Chains A and B, each alone.
Chain A
């Protein structure tokens, strides 16, 4: 060959670039490993039965736990789901059924916008709408804030899933004389249901980990409360309160709370992944 061999600097640069990319991966995984390590090692120490069955005790007294917070988080996310699932799923149906219309585009734009709104701002909104008029913090206000955050997530995943359902199913239903409504509700939605449920689970995991919007809506409560109209504790707010306090014991409990949160997230993520894989395998992908 009559060509000049490739200059060394070019080759070195290329090798350096490849190395830098690999390094970036390592750099990102290091904090992940660190966080998981600390959360697990610190959290596990304080995770005992007391944690789950007792409410917080005054500092210094042993045996305090986060029962009220766990119950609170469960109820708050349940409330959020009650608000968000109907609105989110039905909106998703609209977005997929009437895809090309201007209204659908506007709704989609609104959903994406809402997705990007900082959670603290949503908390301020919920405060104005659900706390101020009644002059006290409540579980309802907290549930509302979380629900608002869930709606766009559920709407978009529902839309995408419905689009994945093969058109042949819809046509089959329509050909048998079903109205559009019937075709959608009895054929399409059930077909997409596993994915929709997965989407809801992931959205739940996401809002279960939110703190900011709860700070001045559900606020917090040192006692166990199941009342909709009273302030209620939540794992996230409790962890925050403990973390910024000066007490060692509370710090330990904060780590335990963090471990519970991360476990929830992990379990939901893995479950969601397995569910989508299973569905894909059943469909024969």
Chain B
């Protein structure tokens, strides 16, 4: 009886420590992701060149956060101390039906609608076109869910 109790207590503490460390880790990446998304949105707004590594960085941060959240929810599901706080992961229903081509086209149209004449200098238009070209070139290297999430995050920043 005592041993069973001890096991439960041990399991509980492992869960607490695991939760705290994953939470910390996920928050640090979320902070970095928010900052990188903001940097790309600022760049698009200002008509500055966006570099491939900036977009790749956003993709990998989204992937990393999803992985951490998935690990976290799997761990909670496996544990008998907590099974009621399942968190959502990358495979969310609405995202799984998305085609990344549709999302990239959407991004193009969102940018077109978001900027008024003041922000439509030839250089800015050129940079935004380059950005869309870059998203197409990255299409095959990332899942459509990740691509769509990144596009939605950047779009949200542009829609002030």
The finding on whether chains A and B are genuine partners in a shared complex, rather than unrelated, reads: no
